[in-house]
Amino acid sequence: MIEKLKYLEAISFIKEMRTDGHSPILVLTNDFNAYYIKHTKGHEPATYLINEFLCHYMLKIWGIRSPEISAVKVDKNILPETLSHYHKLYFYDNITFGSKKMENVIEMNAFSKIENKADFNKYDHGYFGLS
């Protein structure tokens, strides 16, 4: 069953995760759990975040385990001055997509990279038993 979306507030900054994309930040929320959060990148509608929420619910429907999620509001006062300026603007007082930090997990990127069409086709055609 699909659960109702939780709304949380970030109460403490933990660290920024530098990436080529969103560069999510790890925060402690008011339920005392750590969440990786992503912002809208300034886009309206916030299609990046809408896609994150939709993908989470689709994974649940298909029975694929994924972290708990939440909409997380961020108070600008918890963000450090060292946070990337570009990203900091979009975290201020906005709702973000939060993915609960899970311990002892291995991300798919750790053992497989999709760099070209041939790599993609391995997944698309069930090479790994995923389809």
The whole-angstrom separation of Cα 13 and Cα 23 is 14
pTM of the shown model: 0.75
- Nearest of 105, 96, 128 to residue 8 by alpha carbon: 96
pLDDT tens digit string along 64-108? 888 999 999 988 788 877 776 656 666 666 788 999 998 887 666
Contact present, 10 and 29 (Cβ < 8 Å): yes
